[in-house]
């Protein structure tokens, strides 16, 4: 007749003290309490011993420590594990799967993975925090409401297509193109992290209409007097008006204009040394400052001379203005569809080219357009600097002349 194991009691467990050697107390059906030797602290640990399904190899799994895990709870766990074994399931494999599922539900949702992707992108690609915030807001508007809490490994191509169809129907094809591009980046990141086995956004762009390529809206130079007149009379903050003038006079991009720092500007030599981290092409860029550009700085000095940024944010002065500030003002001035802030570079380039006074390469250098050959590009930047000093002053005088046309009219 099989020997029936004596069931443990709380009294027996509490009264059994640690000894010089390990002590085991058995409750039956694989449950035991192991009391460590005195020399090792005498801790009481619950274990469940069992035979692994299929292989029948004997093993054990730790359940917890007594009294944190009571006798009743230890027995309940043992009974749960016996039930799993009766169905051919290894309790340790089951626990691992449960832990992975919980991790998936919290760390591997689409939104959680997108956050990790964007954090890494900021570090490795050098994009500005403003740009990163814009990307995140776009995902919040267009993706997260329906897919944010979905496990990334459960997202399929058809699911993405159905989700993006309404965006295509709205006719915002350029927005759709950017969203698909970001989805591809996120899923490629997930694949390299071994969270998914394939990219469900691959070839997704081919399923939708392509946006028509459009140049940045820009006025012809002949319309510059009208723009300057409206700018002069517009109901915009002085700092915003000066930012627009600064960008117009320096030929830089909107994101570069708002990141002007006092420490990067040498007033005496009239040179603005833009660090590589602030440039689109990630290469340092020098901008010779005309008399009018220096006048803009003089006007801003009383406002922001004690701060890091020449054009600080109105609401958060420790940060610079948003790179869309000038664009928003230009739209409010009534030039929506006619001109964007980036288009002011086109006005300057066209006017300078039509003057016939400057070589094309000098204009390209002033616009910080990159060349494929790095050695030639570095040589040209140095060679053209003197010509760019003349170019910037010529352009400043040109802009002033357009202002005088307004007065004369």
**Which run of H or of E encompasses 295?**
helix 291-304
> Hey, what are 160's tokens?
């993405």
**Would 369 be classed as within a structural domain?**
yes
Answer yes or no: 241 catalytic: no
Asked whether residue 239 falls in the same domain as residue 373, the answer is yes
pLDDT beyond 90 at 108: no
**Would 105 be classed as within a structural domain?**
no
Cα of first residue to Cα of last residue in the chain, in angstroms, is 118
Asked whether residue 95 falls in the same domain as residue 118, the answer is no
Answer yes or no: 342 catalytic: yes
Work out the average pLDDT over 213-235.
Answer: 85
Asked whether residue 242 falls in the same domain as residue 268, the answer is yes
Full residue range of the structural domain in which residue 181 is found: 110-207
C-alpha–C-alpha distance, residues 108 and 101, integer Å: 9
Asked whether residue 89 falls in the same domain as residue 116, the answer is no
Asked whether residue 308 falls in the same domain as residue 173, the answer is no
Catalytic-labelled residue, pool 141, 301, 306, 369: 369
Catalytic-labelled residue, pool 207, 280, 282, 405: 280
Average pLDDT of the chain is 88
Q: At which residue do the structure tokens 């969203």 appear?
A: 179
Lowest mean pLDDT among 1-15, 249-263, 315-329: 1-15
Say which DSSP state 335 is in: I
**Which run of H or of E encompasses 66?**
strand 58-66
**Would 214 be classed as within a structural domain?**
no
Tell me if 184 sits within 8 A of 141, measured CB to CB: no
Q: Give me the number of domains the chain comprises.
A: 3
Q: Is 216 left (phi over 0), alpha (psi -120 to 50) or beta?
A: beta
Give the model's confidence band at 379: pLDDT under 50 very low, under 70 low, under 90 confident, else very high.
very low
Tell me if 252 sits within 8 A of 349, measured CB to CB: no
**Would 252 be classed as within a structural domain?**
yes
**Would 215 be classed as within a structural domain?**
no
Answer yes or no: 306 catalytic: no
Answer yes or no: 189 catalytic: no
**Backbone phi, then psi, for 209, in 5-degree steps?**
-65, 145
**Would 166 be classed as within a structural domain?**
yes
C-alpha–C-alpha distance, residues 204 and 196, integer Å: 17
Asked whether residue 143 falls in the same domain as residue 275, the answer is no
Sequence-distant (≥ 6) Cβ neighbours of residue 171 within 8 angstroms: none
Catalytic-labelled residue, pool 108, 253, 320, 322: 253
**Would 216 be classed as within a structural domain?**
no
The CATH number of residue 159's host domain is 1.10.150.130
Catalytic-labelled residue, pool 322, 342, 349, 388: 342
Distant-in-sequence contacts of 168-174, Cβ < 8 A, 24+ apart: 168/208, 168/209, 173/208, 173/209, 173/210, 173/211, 173/212, 174/211
pTM score: 0.54
CA 338 to chain centre: 31
Asked whether residue 264 falls in the same domain as residue 393, the answer is yes
Asked whether residue 247 falls in the same domain as residue 305, the answer is yes
pLDDT in tens, 3-36: 556 789 999 999 999 999 999 999 999 999 999 9
Instruction: Give the model's pLDDT for residue 105.
Output: 60
Which of 162, 177, 207 is the endpoint of a domain?
207
Catalytic-labelled residue, pool 345, 349, 384, 388: 345
Which of 174, 207, 240 is the endpoint of a domain?
207
Which of 207, 232, 254 is the endpoint of a domain?
207
**Would 364 be classed as within a structural domain?**
yes
pLDDT in tens, 255-290: 999 999 999 999 999 999 999 898 888 889 999 999
Answer yes or no: 379 catalytic: yes
């Amino acid at each position: 007749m099989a020997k029936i194991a004596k069931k443990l009691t709380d009294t027996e467990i509490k009264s059994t003290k640690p000894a010089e050697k390990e002590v085991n107390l058995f409750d039956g059906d694989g449950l035991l309490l192991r009391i460590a030797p005195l020399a090792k602290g005498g801790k009481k640990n619950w274990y469940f011993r069992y035979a692994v399904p299929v292989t029948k190899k004997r093993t054990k799994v730790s359940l917890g420590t007594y009294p944190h895990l009571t006798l009743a709870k230890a027995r309940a766990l043992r009974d749960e594990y016996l039930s799993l074994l009766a169905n051919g399931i290894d309790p340790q494999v089951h626990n691992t799967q449960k832990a992975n599922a919980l991790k998936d539900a919290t760390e591997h949702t689409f939104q959680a993975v997108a956050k990790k992707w964007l954090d890494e992108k900021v570090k490795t690609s050098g994009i500005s925090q403003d740009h990163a915030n814009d990307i995140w807001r776009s995902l919040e508007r267009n993706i997260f409401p329906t897919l944010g809490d979905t496990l990334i490994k459960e997202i399929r191509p058809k699911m993405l297509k159905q989700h993006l169809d309404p965006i295509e129907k709205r006719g915002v094809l350029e927005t759709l193109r950017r969203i698909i591009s970001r989805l591809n980046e996120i899923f490629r990141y997930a694949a390299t992290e071994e969270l998914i086995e394939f990219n469900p956004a691959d070839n997704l762009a081919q399923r939708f209409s392509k946006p028509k390529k459009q140049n940045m809206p820009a006025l012809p130079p002949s319309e510059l007097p009208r723009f300057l007149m409206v700018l002069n009379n517009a109901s915009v903050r002085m700092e915003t008006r000066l930012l627009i003038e600064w960008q117009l006079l320096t030929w830089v991009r909107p994101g570069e204009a708002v990141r002007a720092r006092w420490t990067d500007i040498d007033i005496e030599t009239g040179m603005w040394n833009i660090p590589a981290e602030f440039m689109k092409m990630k290469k340092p860029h020098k901008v010779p400052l005309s008399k009018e550009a220096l006048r803009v700085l003089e006007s801003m000095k009383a406002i922001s001379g004690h701060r890091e940024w020449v054009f600080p944010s109105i609401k958060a002065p420790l940060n610079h203005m948003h790179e869309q500030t000038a664009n928003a003002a230009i739209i409010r001035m009534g030039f929506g569809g006619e001109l964007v802030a980036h288009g002011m570079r086109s006005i300057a380039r066209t006017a300078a080219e039509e003057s016939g006074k400057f070589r094309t390469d000098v204009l390209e250098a002033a616009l910080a357009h990159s060349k494929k050959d790095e050695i030639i590009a570095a040589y040209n930047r140095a060679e053209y600097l003197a010509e760019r000093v003349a170019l910037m002053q010529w352009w400043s005088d040109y802009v002033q002349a357009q202002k005088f046309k307004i007065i004369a009219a």
